[in-house]
Structure 1
């Protein structure tokens, strides 16, 4: 007999996986192994406290981006049998990441209020189906601009590792897949089960959804995680500059608190640092592309090429044209 959604909430944590074509193997492996190691107390991979299935419209092998293939273990059963359905994405250049039957299944699950989680570029698949429009989405900094270009009306951020927004979840991928899985284990099973899984995986601690993605923003150094989050946000909004008040609210601070934090650690105001972030991006474009200077100026938020060139010279000691010529 099929388990109803209400019955499932009293049993083991149940997760269904949908693997896209060219999915990321490491993200899937870390997510499912965190569940496996939390599923019993004796490390025998017994599915006592957690259970999982790889769902598919067929039992054909699904190739990951590294070439390793995985076979689905279940047909598309009632979505209510699962606490979560996790979509693991991968390479974005795949023509059709999932087939029509899989798309219909995800829409059915959404209609039945089953929580859906996009891991790595699995968020792109959910967004393409129109399932992320009213949900805050977390993506890797590597895919942030592509996501904004494809889904301009969807809220998205690239500073956090993962996010669970009502009945939608999103995860940047990579090792953060283990962090999100650990969060689900702690929520549905216990802290002891989470600790057991992490210790076997040799992970010191599970990072929370508030932890910052491990990326140094351009060439600007800082230590405070709130500053790192603001810098990454600045870098993600080069052309459409965000007011300081909004940057502060983004990390739970007032404008004055953020300004004080910048002055204490970076000896400059948020506005000054924001300008530096934009100009560092401009410097990359000058050196790595042949785009006209007016296009570069517009891309980093300047309406005037002459103003842009003067500021560039003041910061880097030479004009964009001189820098490009020196490199050539």
Structure 2
């Protein structure tokens, strides 16, 4: 049995507690207690959450855990010297130390991220990098594993991180069943972007939104401006103008971004060949997809796949 300690502190973000459900469902899935989960704080007792209610915790002093997970808060506030000292000592005894969302600030304050790759919520990534320049910040990642240290993006990405922990401990099938019971996507890969191209486009009118929805459902088609304009019931000229005004992108650039996002998801979650991914996502050939990936991410599809696979080793 593995003991999981979830560290909270005053004004911790409530959603961070969702990671505990992953371990609860893992126990239920295999029919035995693979994980014992405890809520911890520096002094024990009731700890106030960001919503105002409190949760009961045990003091982490004098305890050892297989895995420690530091919850985040809504501001990225460093914690006390006592928390930092405990985490530094825990690195010698614990197999894994993780942080969800702005919990990365707590690990950075303790020096656990020095020289390591890490991520956090995109909104706070630049602030963490400025405050702790020795951290190798990768702000556009769902989660990152660097040795015994695991960090995730926003609090909901903590579920992805916890599912990855379960997958490493109990296997892919168990993690998949846990995700199914929680009605969540089966663990977005760590290398996946925190951003969604469809959300970033933020169309304001129903006509443009309809065209975007059509495009996302038909990425393997040519998707010319004329075709999208017809779906939006506008002339091609009107459509291009309205689309650019509303989204800040040309139709061609937006379609490329949607295709890149779809292609990356296929690369990270399946074993499709690069040629199949290029065809299914609408790029047509691997060279065109490679150039699009270099524009979007600065690396090729193959490099992104290797990075994703290495995080699961």
Shorter-chain TM band? 0.5 to 0.7
Summarize the alignment of residues 223-302 of structure 1 with structure 2, pairs less than 5 Å apart.
Answer: 223=258, 224-225=260-261, 260-261=288-289, 270=295
Query: Does residue 35 of structure 1 match 2:23?
Result: yes
| Partner SS state of residue 40, structure 1 | helix
- Cα gap change, 1:125/1:141 in structure 2, threshold over 3 Å: closer, same or farther? same
TM-score (norm 1): 0.60
Secondary structure of 2:57's aligned partner = coil
Which sections of structure 2, spanning at least 5 residues, go unmatched? 202-247, 266-284, 299-313
1:164-192 CA distance string (max 9 Å, x none): 11011100123211111111111112333
| Structure 1 equivalent of residue 129 of structure 2 | 148
What do the CA deviations read for 1:147-174 (whole angstroms, capped 9, x no partner)?
1211122100111100111011100123
| Match in the other structure for 1:183 | 164
Q: How big is the shift at 1:78? A: 3.3
Is 1:83 aligned to 2:66, yes or no?
yes
Is 2:158 the counterpart of 1:158?
no
Could you state the TM-score of these two structures normalised by the residue count of structure 2? 0.63
Deviations, residues 62-82 of structure 1 (Å, cap 9, x unaligned):
122222321113543432xx2
Give yes or no for the alignment of 1:64 onto 2:52: no
Label 1:134 to 1:258 Cα distance change in 2 as closer, same or farther (>3 A). Answer: farther
Tell me, yes or no, if the aligned pair for 1:63 and 1:69 is still in contact at 8 Å: yes
What is the CA–CA distance in structure 2 between the aligned matches of 1:69 and 1:38, rounded to whole Å? 26
Tell me what 2:225 maps to: none
Q: Structure 2 CA distance, aligned partners of 1:91 and 1:198?
A: 26
1:195 aligns with 2:180: no
Displacement of 1:31 in angstroms is 0.6
Partners of 1:227 and 1:262 within 8 A in 2? no
Question: For residues 110 and 264 of structure 1, do their structure 2 counterparts lie closer, same or farther at Cα, with a shift above 3 Å needed?
Answer: closer
1:113 & 1:41 partners in 2: Cα distance?
25
Give per-residue Cα distances to partners, 1:45-77, cap 9 Å, x unaligned. x86121111122322321222223211135434
**Structure 1 unmatched ranges of 5 or more:** 1-11, 230-256, 275-328
SS in 1 for 2:150: strand
d(CA) in 2 for partners of 1:25, 1:136:
26
- Quick one: structure 1 residues 111 and 201, their matched pair in 2 at CA, closer, same or farther if it must change by over 3 Å? same
| Residue 138 (structure 1) aligns with | 119
> Do residues 174 (structure 1) and 155 (structure 2) align?
yes
SS in 2 for 1:85: strand
Give the distance between the partners of 2:32 and 2:61, measured in 1 at CA.
Answer: 20
* Conserved 8 A contact 1:54-1:72: yes
The offset of 1:263, in angstroms, is 5.7
